[in-house]
Structure 1
Amino acid sequence: MRIWSQCVKELAQFLRDRLTVALAFILPLLTLFIFGFAIRLEAKNIPVAVQDFDNSPLSRSYIERLYATNQLQSSRWDGIGSPQAALDQGIAKAAVIIPPEFSRRIKAGETSPVQVLVDGTDVNNARVIRSSIEATTRFFVRNSQLQTNPSLIQVRSRIWFNPGRQESLYIVPGTCAVILWIYPSLLSSIAMVREKEQGTIIQVYASSLSAEELILGKGLAYLIVGLGIAAVVISISVIIFGLRFAGDPTPFLISTPIFVASATMFGLMVGTRVPNVTTAVQAVATTGFLTALLLSGFIYPLSNIPFPLSLISNIIPTRYFIPIIRDGFVRGTGWLGVWFYLLMLMLLCLLLFNIARRNLSRMQLPD
């Protein structure tokens, strides 16, 4: 009963502060729009400079094939000088040089080399450009019936789970996970620190309310707020970005309250340790946002995280919720594929609650 009374008190204080309500619902939507529309991992419209010394119908057809996809496009290079200058000036990210005897050598059954220069400043982008040009060239050779020795092995690949290659199906669920980690933890940490700054925490210490009851009361209040944020963010994602459940939604529906509870417990843990709101915001932004963004598998694969940072990723709840939400909206494998992540979320939630409880118990006045 006292836990519920503490929860009602926290919700009343939350609703009276319009700035906090705006922080809880407007900023998550802005984050969703910025991440959902701005982050694109697949390189597109890469400027390529082409120098055609052959200028034959075959070479022009090859150039048209290079620009036929949405990955490569013609650069602003004017054709004066060498194409290396376009790379040096940043006008193009790659240069394709077609030799003078290109068409004649091919018609004679000889190999005709095509030189490709790729800007390696961005290593990942350089790999994408190189692979795209090589794949386009192989397609051009097959389509133009220029392949004299057909391979005995033919690979026919198909993209599973996301055949339309919609990046929003990958980015938006991960963004929702980051939002549901940052904002509930930020709100709960601010609520706890304000008790210290306003001096009302002394009244709590002097009352019969235990540390467990205070933590659970505040946690329940901001769990409700966090679930409200989740409902708004997921609804907008469904309407604007076209998210749909791919299979059994129950793992996602069960894990979401547990994940939001973990976020609120993390915020309360931070709030019991820091002295003021400014420090609380900085602590959540540094230890919460950066780890959720960089060490959770949201953008970068977990296998790419070097040691010893890879050890830190094992205790980040976002790392375990992102596979669950992506499974719910993209893969659809259900419990068989995500039960372990749900178990880890429960264990981390209990761990964060215990740390916050112990921190608050040390601060309380002895009986």
Structure 2
Amino acid sequence: MRRVLAQGVKELAQFRRDRLTVALAFVLPLLTLLIFGYAIRLEAKNIPITIQDFDNTPLSRSYIERLYATNQFEPTPNGEDVGKAIDRGRATAGIIIPPNFSQQVMAGRGSSVQVLIDGTDVNNARVIQNSIQAVTRFFVQTSGLQTTPPRITPRTRIWFNPGRQESLYIVPGTCAVILWIYPSLLAAIAMVREKELGTIVQVYASSLSAVELLLGKALAYVLVGLCEAVAVVGLSMMLFGLRFAGDPTPFLLATPLFIAVATFFGLMIGTRASNQNAAVQAVATIGFLTAFLLSGFIYPLSNIPFPLSAVSNVVPARYYIPIIRDAFVRGTGWVGVWSHGFALVL
């Protein structure tokens, strides 16, 4: 045990002397947090939409105002041909209000409004379609145009995040990705550097065993990873307003375990890589892509097709992200995340 501690102290001393490694450990994670936290947005906003109003009555103008009142759409010059505006990329959607629109509606015969949507981005097209349909239903109800009351009226209440702040979803997941990538990257580089500089020969000549060498390095970079966790979570609280929503115990216990898993993953890569470039590429390819795409960070796990869905079962970030999101958003504690913690231990 003393030799493991001595090896860990030696690794920390080398870490402090290398300014580039210190920057990699603390500056890049914070930059990653800022980029991901502010750049990733899942909600579609400021969608350019063009409207041709051939009716030009108070009712049609009121309908147009209701569309823009959602703050989800932004107008393009009205009167421009809808088809040409979409073809040239100046609008993502277009609405054509026919002549006699107001007359037909007020007479109780109803009127159709043509909606054209650019389907290049399927998800965005679905959002636009649902938004326009919802606005139209709301306009009909609030304008007194609905002759009979709806038979079923849903009363919706959003739990855990009633303000629908995207940062409460994105930022905890970003912290998980950061705490997976950078500790593993540091450990992999440290292991490869021993071979590149030839200092691994001194280890072979000493009485230090391979297990003690790996445990010493792991101890050092787990401590570095914990410092990264404090810095990243602290900055998240200051900039994005994260607060513990309930019992933080699962998060506090799972974080050191998750960082330890990331560190040993990096050491495994480092023992196999022949140089630092290969180690960085391996961590970026295997570690980052799986943590980003197969962990539920952005895309729901239920959307991942087989066999990639089977691969996601061995991605540790898949089990840590629900724990950290529960700590800062849901607040259910052990009741909601005990299975993820158990899977992380395994």
TM-score of the pair, normalised by structure 1: 0.93
Partner of residue 236, structure 1: 235
Please give the alpha-carbon distance, in whole angstroms, between the structure 1 residues aligned to 2:341 and 2:89: 47
Deviation of 1:210 (Å) = 1.7
Amino acid at match of 1:15: R
Separation in structure 2 between the aligned mates of residue 344 and residue 156 of structure 1, nearest angstrom: 37
Q: What residue is the counterpart of 1:167 in the other structure?
A: 166
SS at match of 2:108: coil
Q: What letter corresponds to residue 319 of structure 1 in structure 2?
A: R
- Partner residue, 1:68: 69
Return the offset for 1:149.
2.1
* Alignment match, 2:92: 93
Residue 355 of structure 1 is matched in structure 2 by none
**How many equivalent pairs are there?**
345
One-letter amino acid matched to 1:63: I
TM-aligned CA deviation for residue 280 of structure 1: 0.3
Alpha-carbon contact 2:53-2:79 (below 8 Å) kept:
no
How far apart, in 1, do the equivalents of 2:275 and 2:259 lie? 23
- Separation (CA, whole Å) in 2 of partners of 1:151 and 1:167: 32
> Is the partner of 2:286 in helix, strand or coil?
helix
Partner of 1:207: 206
Counterpart CA distance in 2 for 1:291 and 1:229 is 21
Q: Supply the AA of the counterpart residue of 1:61.
A: S
Aligned to 1:46: 47
Equivalents in 1 of 2:339, 2:204: separation in Å?
39
Displaced runs of 4+ in structure 1, greater than 3 A? none
Give CA-to-partner distance per residue, 1:123-154, whole Å, 9 cap, x none: 00000000000000011111111101221111
Partner of 2:264 in structure 1? 265
State which drifts further: 202-211 or 111-120: 202-211
- Return the offset for 1:78: 5.2
Task: Give the whole-Å Cα distance in 1 for the aligned partners of 2:338 and 2:58.
Answer: 58
Aligned to 1:351: none
Query: 2: distance between equivalents of 1:221 and 1:31?
Result: 23
Q: Which runs of 5+ in 2 are unaligned?
A: none
SS in 2 for 1:272: helix
Gaps of 5+ in 1: 348-367
Which position in structure 2 is the counterpart of 1:178?
177
RMSD of the TM alignment (CA)?
0.8
Partner of 2:79: 79
* Structure 1 residues 17-66: Cα deviation after superposition (integer angstroms, max 9, x where no partner): 00100110000010000000000001001011000000000000000000
Output the CA distance in 2 between the equivalents of 1:19 and 1:7. Answer: 19
- Distance in 2 (CA, whole Å) between partners of 1:112 and 1:315 is 54
**1:311-337 Cα shifts (integer Å, max 9, x gaps):** 111101111100000000001110011
**Matched position secondary structure for 2:272:** coil
**Aligned mates of 1:62, 1:253 — CA distance in 2:** 51
1:345 aligns with 2:339: no
Q: Secondary structure at the match of 1:279?
A: helix
Tell me if structure 1 keeps the 8 A contact 2:51–2:78: no
Question: What is the one-letter code of the residue matched to 1:260?
Answer: I
Tell me, what secondary structure is at the counterpart of 1:50?
strand
- TM-score w.r.t. structure 2 length? 0.98
